[in-house]
Amino acid sequence: MTTFFAGVQWLLFMFANTVVIPLSIGTAFHEPSTVIMASMKLSFMYTGIACIFQALIGHRYALMEGQSGLWWGVLLSLGASADVAHMSLETLGGGLAIGIIISGIMVAILGALGIGSLLKRLFTPIVMSVFLFLLAGSLIITFFKGMLGLSTSTQINLPVAGLSFFLVILVTCLNIKGRGNLSNFAILAGILVGWLLYSLLFPQQSAIRTGSSTTIMLFPLGKPNLELSSIITALLAGMLNTANTVATLRGAEQIFGEEVDERKYRRSFVLTGINTVIAGMFGMVPYAPYASSLGFLQTTHILERSAFIVGGVLFFLLGLVPFLSKFFATLPISVGDAVLFVAYLQLIGAALKNLSGFQFNGKTIYRFALPILLGFAIMSMPNQIFISLPMVIRPLFSNGLLMGSLIAILLENLINWEKYK
């Protein structure tokens, strides 16, 4: 029974991490509600399948395989700037689909050839720390906006914000003060309490409206084409997205207390590459192991694969059974964001662990401070200021996570910092 309830908590974690993504992408690309709902159901089913396969034949850990936050940000940025670039959303979506498919094939092939060992050398502990800080920051910003009710409005919704902060305090207290299962199931308790209170306090509001009928289709974002800037951007994002796998599996070593061998890296990359190809074909955000799983595991202390597999099966069934997907789609976005806000705080701990043993001076601090502060600075800028940049480089230079991670990689691999200690 404990395994089942732990699986339900994994289900809700998977759901809360997934539900907003197809909604936001569909809105950014001006898709009809039926297409958005179809994408949501497919995302539920395929994410469940992807998690099960990673747990059984991939890296074999309880680590969520989900739609990548890095890819999510890139696609939203491109969708928001398409009009200014005088490019139709259909052309952009078709070009991105080809780029995503190519990047998935590349990741699968390179993974099978042993790219993991090379990436572990490129993605040093400093790079991983920068990546995790920026990933946590970018997603926390998204969750915080959702907590304030800004997902559906341009102004702060004070009652919704009040409930969100109450849930943050509740889940935090359960994590810190709770003992045994009370602490382990803090996320589940937060979602259930928040969902109930939201239904009682705001009975007329619904976070998500479901369509009456849906049809899953190939290339819903646009007919495949060879739009060069979109393809180049997708290839670059695909290569940098491999940092998710390295960061997550490195963090898993500390949590599970064992070294992740090269075979597990290979299998994980191959599956992620296959998942990315399928995502490109069906208009989903490409996949990667979720570094946020580390925070979830540290918060819940539920490390068993069996519970994770149960969660994956339940998530697949949620998307497969229409009335279940429609019911769970009524989960208020602000409630999910408030609970995820707490879960993602643990990413900071994972980032700090990568810095263990490092001592910085007036010179070596640049290897860490420059990429992370540059990344956060870019995140704070409105998208409109990047309009003057050429379209082929705009997605890179306007994405703080991409730029910060790339600068960190360059600094770590082009400068011999040992001589400055």
The answer on pLDDT for 259 being more than 80 is: yes
Q: What is the model's pTM?
A: 0.79
Cα separation, 162 vs 169, in Å, equals 11
- When mean pLDDT is compared over 184-198, 223-237, 275-289, the highest value belongs to 275-289
Mean of the per-residue pLDDT values of the chain: 84
Alpha carbon separation from 75 to 151, 238, 272, 412 (Å, rounded): 17, 12, 18, 28
Which residue matches tokens 């920068």? 130
Question: pLDDT tens digits, residue range 355-403?
Answer: 888 888 888 899 999 999 999 999 888 877 887 887 777 777 888 888 8
Question: pLDDT tens digits, residue range 9-32?
Answer: 898 888 878 877 887 788 778 888
Q: 248-285 b/e with 16+ CB inside 10 Å = b?
A: bbbbbeebeeeebeeebbbbbbbbbbbbbbbbbbbbbb
The answer to which of 82-86, 111-115, 416-420 has the lowest mean pLDDT is 82-86
pLDDT band at 207 (very low <50, low <70, confident <90, very high): very low
Q: Give strand ranges (E) for 86-166.
A: none
Q: Residue 329: its pLDDT value, please?
A: 67
